[in-house]
Amino acid sequence: MSKDFNPNSAAQDDAGIFGLPFSADESQIIIIPVPWEVTVSYGGGTAAGPAAVFDASMQVDLYHHDFPELWKKGIYMDKIPDELLKLSESLRPEAEKIIEAIQQGVDAAQDLGLKVSYKAVNQGCEKMVAWVKARAAYWKSKGKIVGLLGGDHSTPLGYMQYLGEQHSDYGVLVLDAHYDLRNAYEGFKYSHASIFYNVLETVPQISKLIQVGIRDYCEEEKNYALSKGPRVQTYFDREIRKSQFKGQTWDQICHEIVNALPQKVYISVDIDGFDPKLCPNTGTPVAGGLEYEEGMHLFNVLKASGKEIIGFDLNEVSPGDTDWDGNVGARVLFHLCGLAAK
């Protein structure tokens, strides 16, 4: 880091994420960008999320209210992988052919022409999962704290699989509008809507999955969650509000959530877990959701509990025509870095 760096000055054009001057070696925290949106089923744009968050991060003041020394720890964003971006762009038309056929009533799974597209998409997504797992392993081997920046919500599977190989037991705290518990949604094994189905099926070391803010789901997902017993615990957005209407405070609810988690915790944030006014361009916005400070308070209660945060991700930021989504995403990411920092 340059001795001339002034954290109170405007970010320079050649600066790293958040305008920081640190190299990867000098940084405690590494952000892995994953520009991916192959199986998105509504709005697009999440592949541009990492770049949008990086650009908006230059406007984030470095004196964090809760973690004023955070910037000194060093935060570095890995290079956006061109090979993944190109693969995502090449596979998206194949997925769109399948999605459009399904919408027209075609049994896509039995269509010989679409089987080729299915194979290409599923194999490509498998490559992405493997790439993420290998990249997370690379940075963790260097003693770094690792965060993942998507991309759609299918992207962190490889990271959570890697953590399962390193830890005998951990929990996952999710902020999301959706369950994401579908089994191969629309025939895509690694669909963004199947992330936590895949996590539960492939990472047995995860003893607890707590999902907060859920407000859009199907019967299949609800039944699957119930079949997992206490391993899956859901805080539906509407039930949270009902409890608050009856006098329970958000602080009490946050402590209840955190107390149910094991000692080691991974945080997964889909930006659409927040109120859509904070993420209007995300692919599948849903009315309701957490306010920004409600999310930050939940995370701070987790931090104060003394539980170990072993990793985190932020997904589904889609820039749209403004800087707003990237701006909110950058601030959520900065806070996640503060939670995980040693």
Does any domain span residue 15? no
pLDDT per residue as tens digits for the range 84-138: 999 999 999 999 999 999 999 999 888 888 999 999 999 999 999 999 999 999 9
| pLDDT of amino acid 41 | 80
Is 251 within the bounds of a domain? yes
Nearest Cα to 35, choosing from 14, 16, 20, 52? 52
Q: Does residue 101 form part of some domain?
A: yes
Residue 93 lies in a domain: yes
Q: Is residue 110 part of a domain?
A: yes
Average pLDDT of span 248-259: 98
The pLDDT, as a whole number, for residue 275 is: 98
Instruction: Tell me, yes or no, whether 3 lies in a domain.
Output: no
* pLDDT bracket for residue 323 (50, 70, 90): very high
The answer to whether residue 320 sits within a structural domain is yes
pLDDT at position 173 over 90? yes
The parent domain of residue 297 ranges over 25-340
Task: Quote the percentage of the chain above a pLDDT of 70.
Answer: 99
**What tens digit of pLDDT does each residue of 68-84 get?**
999 999 999 999 999 99
Q: How many structural domains does the chain have? A: 1
Residue with tokens 């000692």: 263
* List of E strands, the chain: 29-34, 75-77, 145-150, 170-175, 206-214, 232-236, 264-270, 308-315
The proportion of the chain whose per-residue pLDDT surpasses 90, expressed as a percent, equals 93
pLDDT at 221: 98
The whole model's pTM is what?
0.97
| 135 is a domain residue | yes
Average pLDDT over residues 216-221: 97
- CA dist 254 and 115 (Å) reads 45
Residue 121 token pair? 């998409």
Q: Could you tell me the CATH number of the domain that includes residue 235?
A: 3.40.800.10
Q: Per-residue pLDDT averaged across 212-218, rounded?
A: 98
b or e along 320-329 (b: 16 or more beta carbons within 10 Å of the residue's beta carbon)? beeebbbbbb
